Structure 1
Amino acid sequence: MKNLSRSSRVLLCVTGGIAAYKAPHLVRGFIRSGWEVKVAMTEASEAFVSPMVLATLSHNRVWRDRDYLSDDSGWHIPHISLAEWADVIVVAPCTADTVARLAGGYASKVMDGAVLASKAPVIVFPAMNVNMLDHSATRRNLDILESMGYVVVEPDSGDLACGYEGRGRLPDVDVIVEEVERALRPKDLEGLSVVVTAGPTREFLDPVRYISNPSSGKMGYSIAKEAWYRGAEVRIISGPVALESPHGIQVIPVTSAEDMLDAATRAMDDCDVMVKAAAVGDYRFASRSEHKIKREGKSEVSFSMIANPDIAATLGEMKKQGQILVGFAAETDDLKENARRKLRAKGLDLIVANDLTEPGSGFGTDTNRVTIFDVQGNSKEVQGDKTEVASIIWDEVLLRREGR
């Protein structure tokens, strides 16, 4: 995925939990995302990970507790310079002791002082024994952090280093990178409830055969993830895809067009924006066999098919004042005419049309070439990877919400 927050500066604060051994992987993940990284370590964390390793990987000096008031470097006022430098501060892992220190506003360590002195977003990743995590004092302190505007990411569950099983594991590097990316993005979709339909539908003839299409769901998932980055609450109504469920987003799995219609109409009641990026089959079999249909020497066979419900048109009729409905049109000919006709007929506010015959466009690719049409007759051609296309789609949605 192309990262849209390159050149950002991340201060990673590493504290003294066993999960500190993962800090080198975090540094590498941040570097791969195009971010500059500096590290501040507590004295306890040095028992689990070498400052030299983190300095080598980050290509920057690592700041340690001994630097706070040292004759050699104290004159730099490291906690102030780090606070002014950082675009986002990540505390990972964050021990119970560190949670308490941050909640209490302590400032006797480099990382404590940097957090207090910074105006940048702070993301806290608690990682500890499950009983420590569930202790009322820890929960109270985490609530205090959230009340101060810090982002607190709940830990994963599983086998813990202490021998217990339960919540307390530091999330995977990819999840931490996603949270940092979200913190770095402008929150121009904050407060909006967004629903995206994605992927193909399947219509079964019998228990082992169905008709479908090659949609990978990549475009819909990119649209959903971009909305989440920009602060929206996001749900995906997803047909069968081979994509992992995105962090931070609720995925509602469906199979058939009728399944998707049911889920979409339910979601339409309480969403602000619905984006219909799924490739829904137009027809289904008139009847479905409960048993596998045998070949039995037949050289040809035919089946009757009937039309599926038109989900976009149904949602267009349901649309309330203030809601925005975005549709997609995958075409092989007469793209402009077909797209504009669907825009009007289905009550859409925007339609995103792509020509499946164009290279780098349509099903299964990581890129897309689309034209966005609105009800005023305007159009915009967009091409790039699907993350970039998704970003521009949301820019256009925001213009419609502002009445432009």
Structure 2
Amino acid sequence: MPDDLDEPDRSPFSFRRLLLVGTGALGVCSLPGWVGWLRENHAYVETKVALTRQATEFVSPAALTAIGGRPLVHDVWPAEPRVTALHVELCEWADAVAVFPATFHFVSRFALGLADTPVMLALQCSTAPIGLAPALPPGGFRSHAMRSHLAALRERPNVVVADPAPGRSVTTGDVGRNAAAPLPTLLELVEKRHAELAAGREAGEPA
């Protein structure tokens, strides 16, 4: 990773517990590097990584566990009985959430209010700031469905979206608004919304 990204004393984060969700876009393969960057430059932020089932096709859970220094969360309903509910644990634990990268499918499910996995249910119930960095196929950012979903999500008081950055499709070779914005860009948006929500609570505004 570049050395000049987000020096800790220059851009500190006020949140202390970050749920970092990786979904099944090819860009999730960069997640171990970003987890290492967080641990090295923002050690005071406790980061818990969750992967969707499709994300494990592109990135190694073992690598993320080793680099992150804590067990990985798999976004599937546990097969074994549990004393506590995983979605409630995640919802109550996270001060902030970053979905990086967020696939077309994940964005759509979140915007529609679906709650079919532990992470999705936790996010639907959370009042913490939630940031999404969509990574989309060619034409995805321009599609009516995606624009409608992003408009709906931006109406939520605790959700922020980092628009896709220029990227080259590995299938077509064409450059378009396809790639997820860098994680520091997304976290800056999450931090800003975290501060706004905190200020609103102090002022007595409804959550």
TM over 0.5: yes
After TM superposition, the runs of 4+ consecutive aligned structure 1 residues lying more than 4 A away are: 186-190
Q: Does 1:153 align with 2:162?
A: yes
Matched position secondary structure for 1:90:
strand
Higher strand share: 1
Distance in 2 between residues matched to 1:171 and 1:30, nearest whole Å: 16
Name the amino acid aligned to 1:37: T
Q: Which runs of 5+ in 2 are unaligned?
A: 1-6, 201-207
Equivalent residue in structure 1 for 2:110, among 75, 99, 102: 102
Q: Which residue of structure 1 lines up, in the alignment, with residue 52 of structure 2?
A: 42
Distance in 2 between residues matched to 1:145 and 1:7, nearest whole Å: 21
Offset at 1:64? 0.9
Is the alpha carbon distance of 1:189 and 1:77 closer, same or farther for their aligned partners in structure 2, counting shifts above 3 Å?
closer
Q: Does 1:19 align with 2:24?
A: no
Matched position secondary structure for 1:185:
helix
> Does the aligned pair in 2 maintain the 1:41–1:111 contact within 8 Å?
no
Is the alpha carbon distance of 1:6 and 1:147 closer, same or farther for their aligned partners in structure 2, counting shifts above 3 Å?
closer
Q: Does 1:113 align with 2:115?
A: no
- Spell out the pairing of 1:68-217 with structure 2 (5 A cutoff): 68-71=77-80, 74-149=82-157, 150-162=159-171, 163-186=173-196
Distance in 1 between residues matched to 2:38 and 2:190, nearest whole Å: 9
> Does the aligned pair in 2 maintain the 1:29–1:174 contact within 8 Å?
no
Offset at 1:118? 1.3
Matched position secondary structure for 2:64:
helix
Offset at 1:47? 0.2
Q: Which residue of structure 2 lines up, in the alignment, with residue 344 of structure 1?
A: none
Name the amino acid aligned to 2:107: V
> Does the aligned pair in 2 maintain the 1:92–1:124 contact within 8 Å?
yes
> Does the aligned pair in 2 maintain the 1:25–1:173 contact within 8 Å?
no
> Does the aligned pair in 1 maintain the 2:86–2:118 contact within 8 Å?
yes
Question: What do residues 329-377 of structure 1 show as CA deviations (whole Å, max 9, x unaligned)?
Answer: xxxxxxxxxxxxxxxxxxxxxxxxxxxxxxxxxxxxxxxxxxxxxxxxx
Q: Does 1:53 align with 2:74?
A: no
Question: What do residues 239-290 of structure 1 show as CA deviations (whole Å, max 9, x unaligned)?
Answer: xxxxxxxxxxxxxxxxxxxxxxxxxxxxxxxxxxxxxxxxxxxxxxxxxxxx
Q: Which residue of structure 2 lines up, in the alignment, with residue 211 of structure 1?
A: none
Is the alpha carbon distance of 1:183 and 1:24 closer, same or farther for their aligned partners in structure 2, counting shifts above 3 Å?
farther
- Structure with greater Cα Rg: 1
Question: What do residues 359-402 of structure 1 show as CA deviations (whole Å, max 9, x unaligned)?
Answer: xxxxxxxxxxxxxxxxxxxxxxxxxxxxxxxxxxxxxxxxxxxx
Is the alpha carbon distance of 1:188 and 1:76 closer, same or farther for their aligned partners in structure 2, counting shifts above 3 Å?
closer
Name the Cα RMSD after superposition.
2.2
Identity of aligned residues (%): 28
Matched position secondary structure for 1:130:
coil
Provide TM-score, normalisation by structure 2: 0.81
> Does the aligned pair in 2 maintain the 1:155–1:170 contact within 8 Å?
yes
Q: Which runs of 5+ in 1 are unaligned?
A: 191-404
Name the amino acid aligned to 1:65: D
Question: What do residues 185-242 of structure 1 show as CA deviations (whole Å, max 9, x unaligned)?
Answer: 356899xxxxxxxxxxxxxxxxxxxxxxxxxxxxxxxxxxxxxxxxxxxxxxxxxxxx
Provide TM-score, normalisation by structure 1: 0.43
Offset at 1:177? 3.6
Is the alpha carbon distance of 1:53 and 1:6 closer, same or farther for their aligned partners in structure 2, counting shifts above 3 Å?
farther
